[in-house]
Amino acid sequence: MNIIVFIKQVADTEARILIKSDKKSLEIENKYNMNFFDEFAVEEAIRIKEKFKDSLITVCTYGTKKAIEALRTAIAMGVDRAFLLDNTNLDNDDPLIIAKILSSFAKKEGFDLILCGRQAIDDENANVGAMVAEFLNIPHISAILKLEVIDDKKVKAESELEGGREVIEAQLPALFTTQKGLNEPRVPLITGVMKAMKAVIPAIDPCSLGIVKEDIDTKASKITVLSYEPPQSRPPVKVIDGETPEEKVKSLVKALKEEAKAL
Amino acid sequence: MSKDVLVFIECKEGTVRKASLELLSKGKEITEKFSSYLYAVVIGYQIKGIAEGLKSFSDKVIAVDNESLKDYRWDTYMTVLEQLIKKYTPGMVFGASTITGKDMFPRLAARLNGAIISDAVGIDLDGENVRIKKPLFGGKIISWVVCKPGSTSLISFRPNSFSIEKRSLNGELIEETVEAPRDSRLNILSIDKSGSKKVDIQEADFIICGGRGMKGPENFQILEEIADIMGGRVGASRAVVDSKWREYDDQVGKSGKTVSPKLYIGCGVSGALHHTMGMDTSKVIVAINKDPNAPIFQYADYGIVDDLFNILPFLKEELKRAKEEI
Ligand SMILES: Cc1cc2nc3c(=O)[nH]c(=O)nc-3n(C[C@H](O)[C@H](O)[C@H](O)COP(=O)(O)OP(=O)(O)OC[C@H]3O[C@@H](n4cnc5c(N)ncnc54)[C@H](O)[C@@H]3O)c2cc1C
Ligand SMILES: Nc1ncnc2c1ncn2[C@@H]1O[C@H](COP(=O)(O)O)[C@@H](O)[C@H]1O
C-alpha cells in the first residue's frame, strides 16, 4: 500500500503573533509544530503499515525550509520518507494553489491512499484535503473517526454527519481527512528521533512537478489579504455580587435580561 | 462576472437551517446595493414546501427535487450546484461553514477553479469591493480578504455571523431538473442521524458548557435541563471529552467546534486558551467558577465566583422563570 500524508507546519497556539506596522504582514514567534489534526493522519498511516507490512508511507509538506522540522517529527513517529516542496519565491497561501501543488506531487509519486488533517489550525480553512482529491479525481471522505482498510482496493470509513455518523465504503485510491477521535497519536521513541535527525529530506522545487510557475506564483492567487487587525477586546468582567448563591443568580439573570439583552 | 449572489440552502428535519437564512439576509443586503439578483438554491427530496417558504427571502428560488438527492453527498450535490452556477453565473456563492459546507465547498471551488474563503465571520461592502472578514489563529488575528475580480468566489460563513431579517419578497420559484449521477466509488453503508433532533452546536443561540469542575458525567443532567429550557445545547471542554463524560461532538475549542452563540455559560471551565479560541466570538459570555483567578474571567462579560453546584439549581429556576415571562 502506497500512502501519502500531507502535513503542515503551523504556529503553536501559544505563539505570540504580532501585526506588523504595514498591517499586511505578521510576525510570528518562533514556536512551530506539526498541525494538530495532521498528527492523526500520520498515526493512522503508521497503523495501516503495521497491518499491511509492505506499505510505504511518504509525508510531504509545501512550505519553507523550516517546515522540515515537522517532517522530521513524522519520521520520528515512524513514516518511511519525507519531502519538502519548497515555497521559496512562491510565497502563496491560496488553498487552490496549494492543492494544485500537492496533487501534482501525488500524481508524480503515485499512491493508493492519501491522508490529510481535517483543517490547519492557523488558517482554519479545512479546504486543502477535498481540493487535492478533486484535482486527482478521486473520492474523499472528510473528518473520519474510523478507518478500516479491507484490502488494497477497498476501505470502510466512519465520518461525522450533522447530528450523526455515517459509514461509507470507498474504493481506493481515495483521500481522507482526519480528526480527533480517530486514534491517539504516538509520542516518538528516542530511536525514532535519532533516525529523524539523520534522515535526508529532499527539497523539491514545485515547478519541477510539471506545473507552470505562472499558475502558482503570488500573482496567480485568487485571494488577497488586504489587512490584518487584532480582534476587538472585551470589556472587563463584571463579577456578580450577592450574599447567597440565590442572590447572585437573581442579579445575573436580571443583568442578562436588562443590560445584556441576552434573554 | 455578475454581482449576483447564490446561497446554498441547508435543511434539517424538513426546515431551513438558521445559518442559511442568515446568509439570505446578508445576501439581500448585498444584492440590493448592487441591484443584482439573490438566488436561493435548495437541493433535496420533497422540498417544495421549503422552496415556497424561501420565496420571501430571495429574488429567485431554484429547487432541485429528486429522490436520489434525499441525503447529502458531495458527489451528487456538488454536481448539481456546479451546473446551476454555470447556468446562472453568480459572482458569489455563499454557504454555511458546517460539516456539509466544509465537505463540499472546497471541492466545488477546485472544480470551478474559483476563489475560496472558508469560515468567514463578516462582510464589509465598500464601493465595488466586497471585503470578507476571516479570523485566523483561533481568533487571535482578524484578516480582511478579497477575491480576485472575475473569479467565481465561494465563501462559507460560520453560523451566527449575521442576523436574520424577515423579508416579504416574492421571489420566482424555478424548478430545475439536473442530472446528478452518484460516484460509484463511494457506497454509503449506513447513516445514523440519532442526534439530528438536537440543535446543531454551531448554530445554537445558547450554550451551557461544562468543564472538569462538573466532577462527573452524571452532573451534566442539570446542564441538559437548562439547555432544554433555553432551546440550546450543552457543550464540554476537552478535559471532559477526554474523560469520556461527554461525546466529542460536544467539544468546544481549538480541537473541537468553534461556536458563537448569543449566550455562552461556562461552568467549571478554567478558560484555557485552547478552549476560549473556540468560543470567544460568543455575544455574551458568563463564567461560573469557584476560582476568582480562573483565566475564563478574562473573557467573560459576567462572572459568578462560587461553587457551581450551589449555583446551578437556582440558575435553572431563574432561567425557567425568565423564559416563561417572555
Ligand atoms: C493541542 C491542544 C488542543 C486543545 N483543544 C482543546 C479544545 O478544543 N477544547 C478545550 O476545551 N480544551 C482544549 N485543550 C485543552 C485545554 O488546554 C485545557 O486543558 C482544557 O480546556 C481544560 O479543561 P477544563 O477547563 O474543563 O479543566 P480545568 O482546566 O481542570 O479547569 C476546571 C475548572 O473548574 C473549576 N472548578 C472546579 N470545581 C469547581 C466547582 N465545584 N465549582 C466551580 N468551579 C469549579 C476550577 O477552578 C477550574 O478553573 C487543548 C489542548 C491542546 C494541547
Ligand atoms: N502547505 C501544506 N502542505 C502540506 N499539506 C497541507 C498544507 N496546507 C494544508 N495541508 C493539508 O491540508 C489540511 C487542511 O488544511 P487547510 O485547508 O489549510 O485547513 C491540513 O491538515 C494538511 O493535511
Each as own residue / partner, the long-range contacts of residues A257-260 (CB below 8 Å, 24 or more positions apart, any chain) are A257/B322, A260/B284, A260/B301, A260/B302
Rounded to the nearest 5 degrees, what angle is found at the Cα of B260, between the Cα atoms of B309 and A15? 95
A252·B137 Cβ contact <8 A:
no
Q: How far apart are the first and last CA of chain A?
A: 56
Tell me the three state secondary structure of residue A34: strand
For chain A, the C-alpha Rg in angstroms (whole number) is: 22
| Residue B29, pLDDT above cutoff 80 | yes
Q: What is the CATH number of the domain that holds B160?
A: 3.40.50.620
pLDDT at residue A32, as a whole number: 97
On whether residue B187 sits in a domain, the answer given is no
- In chain A, whose CA is at the least distance from the CA of B319? A253
CA B145 to chain A, closest CA, distance in angstroms equals: 4
Q: What is the ipTM of this complex?
A: 0.94
On whether residue A225 sits in a domain, the answer given is no
Both A167 and A108 in one domain: the answer is yes
On whether residue A35 sits in a domain, the answer given is yes
Both A144 and A243 in one domain: the answer is no
B141·A19 Cβ contact <8 A:
yes
Task: Give the domain extent around A247.
Answer: 232-263
Both B29 and B161 in one domain: the answer is yes
Split into its structural domains, chain A has a count of 2
Is any atom of ligand 2 closer than 6 Å to the C-beta of A6? yes
pLDDT digits (tens, 9 = 90+) for B142-164: 999 999 999 999 999 999 999 99
Is any atom of ligand 2 closer than 6 Å to the C-beta of A89? no
Task: Give the domain extent around B48.
Answer: 5-175
End position of a domain, from candidates B129, B157, B175: B175
On whether residue A226 sits in a domain, the answer given is no
On whether residue B198 sits in a domain, the answer given is no
pLDDT digits (tens, 9 = 90+) for B255-302: 999 999 999 999 999 999 999 999 998 999 999 999 999 999 999 999
Give the residue whose CA is nearest to atom 40 of ligand 1. B307
Q: Rounded to whole angstroms, how far apart are CA atoms B179 and B75?
A: 12
Which residue in the set A14, A96, A260 is minimally distant from B301, CB to CB? Answer: A260
CA A5 to chain B, closest CA, distance in angstroms equals: 19
- Phi and psi (nearest 5°) for A169? -100, 135
B303·A240 Cβ contact <8 A:
yes
What ranges in chain B are assigned the alpha helix state H?
18-34, 48-54, 74-88, 99-112, 220-230, 238-242, 273-276, 308-325
Region for A193 from its dihedrals, namely left if φ exceeds 0, alpha if ψ lies in -120 to 50, beta otherwise: alpha
Which residue in the set A139, A222, A235 is minimally distant from B147, CB to CB? Answer: A222
**Rounded average pLDDT over A195-224:** 93
**Rounded average pLDDT over B176-200:** 89
Q: Rounded to whole angstroms, how far apart are CA atoms B228 and B230?
A: 5
Strands B302-305 and A238-239 turn out to be: parallel
Q: What is the CATH number of the domain that holds B222?
A: 3.40.50.1220
pLDDT at residue A99, as a whole number: 97
| Residue B326, pLDDT above cutoff 70 | no
Which chain A residues are within 8 Å of B191, Cβ to Cβ?
Answer: 161, 164-166
Mean pLDDT computed over every residue of chain B: 95
Q: Which residue, among B10, B102, B263, would best test binding to A if mutated, counting the most A CBs under 10 Å from its CB?
A: B102
**Rounded average pLDDT over B62-75:** 95
CA A2 to chain B, closest CA, distance in angstroms equals: 19
B116·A238 Cβ contact <8 A:
no
User: How many angstroms from the chain centroid is the CA of residue A130?
Assistant: 12
Both A260 and A143 in one domain: the answer is no
- Select from A33, A116, A124 the residue to mutate for testing ligand 2; criterion: most ligand atoms less than 8 Å from CB: A116
pLDDT digits (tens, 9 = 90+) for B102-141: 999 999 999 999 999 999 999 999 877 899 999 999 999 9
pLDDT at residue B62, as a whole number: 98
A226·B303 Cβ contact <8 A:
no
Both B212 and B166 in one domain: the answer is no
Give the residue whose CA is nearest to atom 36 of ligand 1. B213
Q: Is the CB of residue B21 less than 8 Å from the CB of residue B55?
A: no
| Residue B214, pLDDT above cutoff 80 | yes
Ligand nearest to the CA of A120: 2
**Rounded average pLDDT over B225-242:** 97
Q: Chain B neighbours among A 119-148 (CB < 8 Å)? A: 119, 121-131, 133-135, 138-143, 145
Both B17 and B129 in one domain: the answer is yes
Both B212 and B131 in one domain: the answer is no
On whether residue A101 sits in a domain, the answer given is yes
pLDDT at residue B45, as a whole number: 95
Is any atom of ligand 2 closer than 6 Å to the C-beta of A105? no
Split into its structural domains, chain B has a count of 2
Q: Is the CB of residue A141 less than 8 Å from the CB of residue A99?
A: no
Q: For residue A164, what pLDDT band results from cuts at 50, 70 and 90? A: confident
pLDDT at residue B166, as a whole number: 86
Give B164 Cα–ligand 2 centroid separation in angstroms: 33
Both A198 and A114 in one domain: the answer is yes
pTM given for the model: 0.94
Q: Rounded to whole angstroms, how far apart are CA atoms A65 and A208?
A: 17
**CA dist A164 → A15, A161, B197 (Å):** 35, 5, 10
pLDDT digits (tens, 9 = 90+) for A33-79: 999 999 999 999 999 999 999 999 999 999 999 999 999 999 999 99
**Rounded average pLDDT over B153-180:** 94
Both A164 and A260 in one domain: the answer is no
> Which amino acid appears at position B27 of this protein?
G
